[in-house]
Amino acid sequence: GILGKDSIAGVGVDQELISSVPSWNETFVSRNFTNAEIAYCQSQPSPAASFAARWVGKEAVFKSLGVSSKGAAAPMKDIEILPDAAGVPMVTLHGEAQSAAESKGVSKVHLSLSHSETIAIAFAQATTS
């Protein structure tokens, strides 16, 4: 029905060299990832690649919301990315990220992640409904 139709609020793309995401740094990790994300990444074949993919995922989601960056103060922990039963990355927003999304009428952010040997990339799409 009509109520289920989406309107696009914004898109976001981000990429990083996996080696440039400091997933070995406990302060970086605890500051930017939730406990559930940390447990998931550490259970994967390549935790560094999983952390990097989630990191660029958070950046892509942030870009899709179309709000000004706060640089190092951006609440990346407020953008939580966990796989559903089929392995699709699902985005849950908390705190300031949730407030920003609500202020823009964003009800859902679709996300896809990819990593090769060296590069992690993410694409996000924020929709209103």
Using CB under 8 A, list all residues that contact its own copies: 2, 4-8, 10-17, 20, 60, 63-64, 66-69, 85-88, 110-114, 116-117, 119, 121-125, 127
CB of 1 to its own copies, least distance (A): 10
- What minimum distance in Å lies between the beta carbon of 32 and its own copies? 18
Token pair 């660029």 is found at 56
In this complex, which beta carbon is closest to its own copies, that of residue 58 or of residue 63?
63
State the CB neighbour count (10 A cutoff) for residue 27: 8
Which residues are CB-neighbours of 45 under 8 A, at least 6 positions away?
none
95-103 and 47-65 are packed helices; what angle lies between their axes, rounded to 10 degrees?
Answer: 40
The minimum distance between CB 35 and its own copies, in angstroms, equals: 25
